[in-house]
Structures are given as structure tokens and as C-alpha cells.
A and B are shown apart, each in its own frame.
Chain A
């Protein structure tokens, strides 16, 4: 499946760019991520727990950053093996465009699954991948901007714990 979306982030492209290269940020943003180690150059090893329809699995796999155009665009791709559940792999091509004093972050996501995940959950994969991508970029945005403060109706679940303060604010202040 493929999907694309975009969102406005209230931070300069350089700040957003730095954030996406940070394993701590990635860990905080990948839904269900239990651990993430490594570096942008060598790739990251990740453990992610996710449930697709009836299949719940702990995926161990690699996340690579490629097609890196400094400050402008990159591709995040990952492949995880979920043992008896099968495998999931996917990627997001992300572009960063200055817009006012913020950044327009656009992404195209592609996802594939195999094994039991495909056998039992293929009908659910499109929705699942969209939710994964939306969750990721929602968390990413909140990590950078901090929680959407006074707005009465926050969308989605706010990330928990230390992320509340916001990555940008923690770095700056």
C-alpha cells in the first residue's frame, strides 16, 4: 500500500532535520518502539511491538536512513521480522520545506507485510500503515513542538513521560 500526507511543524527545517536523525527521537516516535540503538550512518536496530488485527508480534529489525539530501529530504526504511507472525517492511520518503518560520514536512509511505501478518491481517494493513505513519509524524511533531498546549481538543494520544516538555525546548532550554 502507499499513502502520502503532510504536516506543518512550528520549527525551522534545520531543527526538524536534526530531530529526525536522533535515535532518541526516533525511539519516542515509532509507535510501540521498545528500543532503538545505532546511528544515522550505520542504521538503527529497533525492537517494536505492534498488533495488526489478530496478530501481535515483537519485531526486531533494522531501520536505515538513505537518499539523504542534507536538510531537505531523506528516506526512512525499516524491515522487521516478527517471528511466527511474519515480517513487515516499509519506508517513508520525507521532504522538509521551509514555510514561513516553520517547516512543511511531507511524506510518502509504503508498507508491505508477509507471512501470518499478510495471511490474517492483509485487509487491515492499509489502515494499520496509515495509523502507524500518522502516529509517527504526530509524535514527531509533538516531540519537537511540545504538547499542543491550550488547545481544548488535542488529536490523538499525547506521548507520555518526558516527551511532554518537547524536544526543542529541552535542547534550547
Chain B
């Protein structure tokens, strides 16, 4: 019988009540007394040298309080990349300073190089238009291959080949991999593009800077997935504010998908302007600004090769990838194509030899960084496409090809050739579940019906794995991370027994307020309605590295459980005193501390009250109060995995692809709230289908963004996606966190794109279009039609 509360219950989302009744409080909803407004002047050329910026006319405009240019921030530090990557030749990556506002050069369309603060947003906007800039346009560097080849045209003048790093993973394995390819009975080669995406959070970025001249304290309200990370970047790296003098508040945030992990220059401007003017300064991005200035996702060009024997056993795999980082290094931009991508290139397979080469390339485009899945969708897409192609070349059933190469349940812990240790999994189980869901016999019937109607129907498979629960700090430190990736939680039991839980993981769509409360409720035996989950304010929460990389539950949730355990341990001490028993005889169950074997008990509420009104309390040995904090650093990544199948129908007359069915069988470890997990899978798969069929951020040869509005950037709509069937009953609990959880937030976006593309290729192949072996995403009607008619 399904539970109606606690762990495993599909408890309805408490946050929806305020979101659905218009009572959410987003940064744009916050107005501080006396606030002024800032607007930014953004480059309309992709690449240019700034000769002169004349702000005199703007300064004289009505209501204008201050005008800033890049020169005003040259004394500040650069916005850093969070990971330091070493090139194959031992050199450290190129890391040009990323300024608050561009100065010297503008490097992409949308690059902000001046800002106006005025009494009203309209006055600020008018004054921005009055700034006269003399910018010499330079040839735009857009294509990655050209960027590497043309040594005269440089995004950053000091970097001759526009290459950030040339990374080999693992370089020591390269010779053995190459040797395996020389003797391999069969080699499958595929060149593919992982299309560039706009992140499209529903809420555009917004920030308010506030400064207290009396105390010297700064406060930043901003759209952040990780307020402590923002505080660290702004305080320690960019502005040089002592961390204790900066509070960062991320209130309700309307989606992030990665794009709100990063610190952007606008946040430093509102803080600096607030101090200069001694007034709060607010900025809310327009959707147009979001398109050109939010960090984009993906944008890899990859050549992948798979060596097999004639039975389809994978012998070796190697890849060469150009990864676009755009004009500047965004905070995670160097980790995404390397340690979130290269380390996953073994997939769920026991391929013994793997070598990954990634060159990260500067171009005159918006910065590219982690976007839902971050590196792992790119890895999964490359692997699952080449495995599918190899199966076809070898005449092996694609299900069987995968099964033959899976790591088997008795092989864990399994060390991959690309540096990860998978703790647990059962890839055959999820694939078998998927086969059950798909029912291939029924597929044949449906395919025949499509054929009768002149349509081509196919089925595509993807067996994916990811590393999430980011991340063990000692490991990522070795790999180049400049931060720790632990998390923290404080459980504060109030005197009257209700609870505030301050967590480091920010919730901007992940349902923490509901699910974390379910877990605490389950552990303490008190109703979830008495538990509040507090997040998003550095002055309230102990610490936290935020929400991304499907880490919230596995890392922050574990910290929270550990803090709850400390509460229970202290409660036992208090109960032992009150019940005149030895601590070892106290058990905590169903919300009561009991003396084992007796009917003597104290409720959780009585213990809490005693902790704050310690009249009968062991004050000699125990502090009063009932509040505990735990920090948790995971000992390993978690490894969710699953098997996805997509059934697609192609209209050969028009090239239009219709997704008929989508099945997902996932192993996320233990499930805390099935409804929320299902929602996460649905959303992720919709984003994956968007990438596979519709979405593409396109720059023209001059570096102008061609897809800068929803007129041209195609988001998936309700009628583009099917009714999904998802299952997460195949469970191998994570072995190294107490909840046994792995994370589910990115899975759908990671696993689905290759399933969709494999389905379309399968449909075309079955339909007799044997020459179509690959189409780059997005599989728009024009691309599919062109492939059919090539």
C-alpha cells in the first residue's frame, strides 16, 4: 500500500501552493526602498576593439545616477574558471581574465561593456542608447576548426591558437588504445555534432545589490542555484569583499538547468553601484538579454571510433572532440567537457581501452558551460550513437550488442579505464525492464500500420550511465577542481518541537522543500507539516555548494540525514536523564524515545522542550538546545543508469519526425518521492527530445546569434512530446550514502537524445534508406528530408 507520507510517498509538492497561486517571491518581485535600476550596453558585434566610449551624453540624461564602463572595474579580479585543466603536454590551461564589464575588446554579441544606473528602468534604458561607442569591428571567430587553424585572428590577443587546453584522458592509455585499433577486426567511425543549446530557464536572470554604509555589509539578491558559491566567487575572486561582509540570497528561482550556477558580471555591477550610490540597484534581464548572455550548453564536434571483434565485443574506444567554450571561461566551462565528459566515455560497458582527447576552443560566441547533464549528455550521445552504428554494421541486434558488453552485477566495484569506480549497478535489469515495456512484437504491428499509411517507423535505444552526486572533494581536487564539493545542513529543533532545516542545496524546481521534509519527517516521526526546509540565504544556511550535477539529495540530503542522526543521538542522552535509564537502553522509534523493554517513553516534543527549558536536564555533561549541523563529503560519485527507448515515425514526404512512444527504465537507487522522480524524468526527457529534434542556438559567420528569440529558437511544446512511460523499480542502492540514493535530475536529458536519433535512423533504415547512417541534431524536417533525398 502506498505510503501517504515519509520516505517513498508521492507527497504533493508544498511549494506548488505558492507557485500556483502567484505567491512565489522571485528576485524581480523584490523591491527595496530607494532602489535604482541598471541597464547594460551590450555589444552588437561579435568581435571588436573598443577605441572610445563617450558617456557624456548619457550622464546628462534625466534620472541618470551613474554610468560605468569596463575601465571602472579593471582593478577587480577576474571571474575564474572553477577547474584548472592540464594539457597533454603538461602545460596549464590558458585562462584569460574574465572582466566584470568588457574593456579593450568586446568578444561576443551580448558582451556587456557599459552600464547606466538611473531612477527608473526606462531612464536607464534611454541613457544606454545615448552612449556613443567607437568600436572597430574585427573578423568574428565562430567555427571551432577555423579558430584553431587561424593563428592571426584571436579571441584573446595573447592566445595564438584560441585553444584553452588540449586534454588527453588518460594520456598514458593512448598508445595501448591506438595499438588495439590497429589490430581490431572491425572499426566503426562516426563524426557528429552535439548541438549548441540555449538554457531557457523560465525566469530570466535578475539581481539586486544592496549596501549598508553603516556596517559595510553587502547584500546580493540574485537568481542563483548556489548562493554560497556566488558569495565565494564574488567575495574572494572578483570584488575582494570579505566573505563575512557579503550575504547572497537566492529566493524563489524559476529554473536554472545550469545557467544560474555561474557568477555573471551583472552581479558585481549591481553591488559596486549600490556602494557607490548608497542605494539598492536592481537589474532584471529581458528574454533577449538572456539569449545572448546566459551561458549556453553543449556545442561539441566529435569524431568517435569504436573497435570491436566480429561478435560485437567492444575492444577499444577513442574520441577527438572540439568543445566550444565561447568567448570567456565560465565557472564550470573547463570541467564540463573534461571531467564530466571524458570520465564517462566507458559508459555502462566493459570496454577495456578508452582514450579521450578534448580541445577546448575560444570563439566569439556567448560562454558555453554546464547545461542539464553537463558533459554526460555529450558522452552518452557519442557512445550510444557509435554503438548503434557498430551493431548495424556487424548485423547484431542493438539490444544484444549492448547486453553483450555490459558490466555485469558481479563485477562491482568496477574500475573503468577512464578513472571512475562504479560502486554498483545492474544494467541488464533496466534493459530487461525496458524490453518488457517496449514489447517488440507490438512494435512490429505498429510499424506495419505506419507503413500502410506511407510513414516510416523505427525504434531507438540508449543505455546510459552518469556520474553524479558531485563530488568527492579529494578526488576532484586531484582532477583540478578549485573548490570542495561537499554540502551541509543544520537541523534546528525549536522548543515547541517544530523544525527548521537549513540546507545548502538550493531548490529551483527540484522539490526539496517537499522531499527533504518527507525524509526528516520519516526519520524523526513527526509530521512533515511541522518541518520547514530553508535554503537560498547565506546568512541562514550553514554552507552549501548548491544544486547541480544531480547532487542535492545524494550529498546535501546525506548531510541532512547525518544532522538528524546527531539530533537523535542527543535526544537519547536527554531521554536517558529524564527517564533515569542508561543511554544504551534508549531506543528511538515512531517519534518516541523509549527505554527498551519497558513502557517508559518520552515523545520527541517532550525532549525538545526539555532541551530549551532544561529544568530536568543533564547540564553538567550536555549543552542545552537541540540544533545540529553536519557536513558531508561523499566518498565517491553516484552512478545512476538506465535504458531508454524511443519509437519515432518519419514522414518521408516532409521529413517530419513524430515521437510516438518513449520508455524509460532507470535505476536511481532508492526513491524518496516517486511522483517527483517521475516529474524529473519527464522534464529531462522533454529537454532531450528538444535537443534531438528542435533546439539549436545558431550563430552566423559574423557571430550574430540567429536564434535570439522564440521566433527562431524552437522549444519543445506539449504536442512535440509523447506520453512517457517511466519505471524506476530496478534499484541497486548507492553503497556509500545512508539513503542509498543516486540522483535523477539530469537522467532524462542525458539518456534521451541518442534514443531519439537512433529511432529516426532505424526508421529510415527499415524504410529502405540504407544510405542514411547519421543526421546531426536537431533532426528538423529539412535535415531529415535532405538526408532521405541526398
Q: Which of B44, B128, B700, B711 contacts A120 (CB 8 A)?
A: B711
A112 touches B702 (CB 8 A): yes
A87 touches B702 (CB 8 A): no
Contact with B along A117-152 (1 / 0, CB 8 A): 011101100000000000000000000000000000
Q: Which single residue of chain A is at the shortest CB-CB distance from B709?
A: A120
Contact A115 to B109, CB < 8 A, known contacts A120-B288, A120-B709, A120-B711: yes
Contact A84 to B128, CB < 8 A, known contacts A114-B44, A114-B45: yes
A118 touches B109 (CB 8 A): yes
A118 touches B711 (CB 8 A): no
B109 touches A122 (CB 8 A): no
Q: A116 on the interface (CB 8 Å rule)?
A: yes
B129 touches A122 (CB 8 A): no
Q: Which of A115, A122, A123 contacts B44 (CB 8 A)?
A: A115
Contact A118 to B129, CB < 8 A, known contacts A86-B44, A112-B702: no
Contact A113 to B129, CB < 8 A, known contacts A86-B44, A120-B288, A122-B712: no
Contact with A along B22-62 (1 / 0, CB 8 A): 00000000000000000000001110000000000000000
CA separation between A83 and B57, bound complex, in Å? 14
- B704 CB contacts on chain A under 8 angstroms: 112-115, 118-119, 122
Q: Which single residue of chain B is at the shortest CB-CB distance from A1?
A: B700
- A118 CB contacts on chain B under 8 angstroms: 44, 109, 700, 704-706, 708
B705 touches A119 (CB 8 A): yes
Q: B386 on the interface (CB 8 Å rule)?
A: no
- A53 CB contacts on chain B under 8 angstroms: 711
CB of B695, distance to nearest CB on chain A (Å): 16
Contact with A along B688-716 (1 / 0, CB 8 A): 00000000000010101110110110000
Q: Which single residue of chain A is at the shortest CB-CB distance from B43?
A: A115
CA separation between A40 and B128, bound complex, in Å? 34
Q: Which single residue of chain B is at the shortest CB-CB distance from A82?
A: B44
Query: A residues 27-55 with Cβ under 8 Å of B?
Result: 53
A114 touches B109 (CB 8 A): yes
CA separation between A25 and B530, bound complex, in Å? 80
A123 touches B700 (CB 8 A): no
The residue among A113, A114, A123 with the most chain B CB atoms within 10 A of its own CB is A114
Q: Which of A83, A84, A114, A123 contacts B702 (CB 8 A)?
A: A114
B129 touches A84 (CB 8 A): yes
CB of A90, distance to nearest CB on chain B (Å): 12
CA separation between A118 and B46, bound complex, in Å? 12
B129 touches A120 (CB 8 A): no
CA separation between A27 and B128, bound complex, in Å? 30
The 6 residue pairs across chains A and B that have the minimum distance between CB atoms: A115-B44, A119-B708, A118-B704, A86-B44, A122-B706, A114-B44
Report which A residues bind B (CB closer than 8 A).
53, 83-84, 86-87, 112-116, 118-120, 122-123
Report which B residues bind A (CB closer than 8 A).
44-46, 109, 125, 128-129, 288, 291-292, 700, 702, 704-706, 708-709, 711-712
**What are 18 A-to-B residue pairs whose CB atoms are below 8 Å?**
A83-B129, A84-B128, A84-B129, A87-B44, A112-B704, A113-B704, A114-B44, A114-B45, A114-B46, A114-B704, A115-B109, A118-B44, A118-B700, A118-B706, A119-B704, A119-B705, A119-B708, A119-B709
- Given A53-B711, A115-B704, A119-B292: 12 more A-B contacts, CB < 8 Å: A114-B109, A115-B44, A115-B45, A118-B44, A118-B706, A118-B708, A119-B288, A119-B291, A119-B705, A119-B708, A120-B711, A123-B706
